[in-house]
Structure 1
């Protein structure tokens, strides 16, 4: 029986690949047979990851890229196509989160949230989708957040720009899915709950009151563990999900149901 999750011969692009969930996803893509283009601003971290992927017998290229800057994205896309000639999978993972309610949030934090979390997906897709349309195949996975549908109570936990930007990711995903399915390009989003990463380690994970509350409210009684998002990412990136598009899969240990 054919393995619908096999990614052998596929090329995956991962933004925000230098750490956390993006790094884990890039390694998982390689484990399932894909070659990987690694994008982030920290080239040194990407170079280290590329060596790990190469050791698995897959090809990897590390490309410094600011997904919020169009010229940077355009140059990175050209480098990707020069290295691999095609892109089959685009994982839009790069993201930032700033604490603050709207009455106190600096304008620059709002703008950076929108530039990275929303504009970044727009720009990466703008330069990758034409090649996917030409080959009549593509899998786009946008990392949104549980915070697209739920919010954290309390002034010290408010992240209004993050809420807004991740809800926008969901809307963008639906629009893209409706347009591109005719070209055999599926577009889906994932809403992770709380996972430890550079973005959460120094904020939420060090907030004892929040962690106690999160664990008490979550049916799993804990945050997500390293690698627990990979199964959903591989599913949406593989032919196992060939008739699935515009879906938003929440991976949160049940937090959003209580």
Structure 2
């Protein structure tokens, strides 16, 4: 049986841990050769080792998504080694713990540069290669915080909400502009996922789960594999008539 991503070449940002690592592993398991990129090269190499140990094909590269030269260099590595690029997962992201009152310009700029400008820079560079390879698909990572402010205390992280709130519309704009190049663009909005990004101890604690169950319809914390599976499907031919949408993968968080 042909694997879902046989003969496809994928570029995954922030693939050294969490959702990015699980996505890279999933795409490789389903037949793709994966360029594993992360600002932490050792973490990217570890993901690559996991893929290779499972019989997959991957290369590791250091990429700061705020740096166009890093992105272009990584893209060229994929083209030189595999001759094409078909799939992009714009996953790299971060958050700092700031309320509105204590939010600094430096923290605002950092989060917006990585979460939003980074997706723009990566998409702009990689879409050129995808188009030259005959087309493909892009998935951007949004968040349920694109639509609601999620907080267990009295403050939020306005810079994170602003950065993720822009992704669905950015995704639609890319979908419109890249459709003539045979490139589909969608985004996935994860709910609370058991990774260090969300403070693993808090998310998996009894108190944390009790708080989240007030919103969750599926009464468990999400796993990186839940998100990776959705991303893989949106990138595949099975989703070939889906373009420009945001898909919440959130255990029903946004339903209530």
Please, what TM-score do these two structures have when normalized by structure 1?
0.92
Q: Any idea what the Cα deviations from partners look like across 1:162-193, whole Å, max 9, x if unmatched?
A: 11000111111010001111221000000000
Which residue number in structure 1 is paired with residue 158 of structure 2? Answer: 160
Shift of 1:228: 1.3
Which residue number in structure 2 is paired with residue 16 of structure 1? Answer: 14
How far apart are the structure 2 equivalents of 1:135 and 1:192? 29
Which residue number in structure 2 is paired with residue 183 of structure 1? Answer: 181
Shift of 1:196: 1.4
How far apart are the structure 1 equivalents of 2:182 and 2:231? 18
**Residues 125/46 of structure 1: CA separation in 2 closer, same or farther (3 Å cut):** same
Equivalent pairs counted in the alignment come to 256
Contact 2:95 2:160 in 1 (8 A): yes
How far apart are the structure 2 equivalents of 1:203 and 1:149? 25
Q: Give 1:133's match in structure 2, choosing from 131, 145, 157.
A: 131
Which residue number in structure 2 is paired with residue 174 of structure 1? Answer: 172
How far apart are the structure 2 equivalents of 1:202 and 1:223? 10
Which residue number in structure 1 is paired with residue 53 of structure 2? Answer: 55
**Residues 181/154 of structure 1: CA separation in 2 closer, same or farther (3 Å cut):** same
Say what the alpha-carbon RMSD is for the aligned residues: 1.9
Q: Give 2:221's match in structure 1, choosing from 220, 223, 233.
A: 223
Runs (5+) with no aligned partner, structure 2: none
Shift of 1:203: 7.4
Q: Give 2:79's match in structure 1, choosing from 66, 78, 81.
A: 81
Q: Give 1:151's match in structure 2, choosing from 129, 149, 168.
A: 149
Shift of 1:217: 2.2
Runs (5+) with no aligned partner, structure 1: none
Q: Give 1:102's match in structure 2, choosing from 69, 93, 100.
A: 100
**Residues 44/37 of structure 1: CA separation in 2 closer, same or farther (3 Å cut):** same
1:121 matched to 2:105? The reply is: no
Shift of 1:237: 1.0
How far apart are the structure 2 equivalents of 1:235 and 1:91? 12
How far apart are the structure 2 equivalents of 1:16 and 1:156? 30
Shift of 1:225: 2.3
Please, what TM-score do these two structures have when normalized by structure 2?
0.93
How far apart are the structure 2 equivalents of 1:210 and 1:160? 21
Shift of 1:103: 2.3
How far apart are the structure 2 equivalents of 1:76 and 1:107? 30
Shift of 1:99: 2.2
How far apart are the structure 2 equivalents of 1:90 and 1:16? 12
Which ranges of 4 or more aligned residues in structure 1 deviate by more than 6 Å? none
